[in-house]
Amino acid sequence: MSGSKSSKKAEAAKAAEGNATPSDIAKLMAAIASSEQSVLARIDNMDLKVESKTQVLNNTIDSLRTHLVDQIDGVRTEFGVKLGALAANADANQARLTSLEEATNAYTDRIVELEQQVCSLKDNVTALFDKTEDLEGRQRRCNIRILGVKEQFEAGSRPVTSVAKLLQEEKLEVLRLAAKKGPLSYNGDTVLIFPDLPSTVAKRRGTFRGVKDLLRKCPDVKFGMLYPARLRITSSLGEKIFTDPEAAKDYVVKHLVGGVQQDDD
């Protein structure tokens, strides 16, 4: 704009130098002034538009800023509420876990105590069972069991009377002879004579039946049962006592069966 003004002023000066009339000069100056006013008006109008748009932009920015701040505050508040709830749940869960750990430790201690009591009771029961079995065995030590005897075993007497008389004599000798000769026969009836043992002891002794069958086939070998359920084997290898039938069977098969008595050495 400043260049245009300078050009017009330069033309006006040239016109004056070229003997322009005053009327021409006045018109020229009026045109210059009008053009200048138009330019200034346009500038003012542009300033107003720029100011208006700037104001709108500022208002938009302020609105966006306010909206964004509100959203951030809302999100922050929502997060704060949710985080507070999570923290409360975490505290509650931690309290529950602590309670469960304490209860678990208490139950563990009680279980350990109960296990100790059970072990102690088991030992006591085993000891009482052994004592009961021993007492029952001692009570029956002087008894023998006879199967196959009918009433009137002897003329004018009952079997109980005859057996009582027999017990007063040689019980061990009777049992030895009965075992040596096998089943007895009287008046066509088979008579079996056994030691009168508790049922538990009899079952334990019964587990040695297979070993004793093997021993009967071994020459120069003596064997017998010791109370309550121990198998004693006497041979040229010496005396062995077994409480386990499998160990006894293994020993007999390896060292005694076949008539060859051979030591481990």
The 10s digit of each residue's pLDDT in 194-207 is 777 788 888 998 99
- Side chain identity at residue 216, one-letter code: R
Q: What is the model's pLDDT at position 239?
A: 94
User: Is domain 198-265 in CATH 2.40.50.100, yes or no?
Assistant: no
Q: What is the model's pLDDT at position 25?
A: 81
Q: What is the model's pLDDT at position 45?
A: 80
**pLDDT band, residue 243 (cuts 50/70/90):** very high
**Could you tell me the two tokens for 140?**
């029956």
Residue 78: pLDDT over 60: yes
Quick one: DSSP state of residue 157?
A: B
Give domain limits for the chain.
198-265
CA distances from 149 to 1, 13, 153, 246 (A): 155, 174, 7, 35
Residue 248: pLDDT over 90: yes
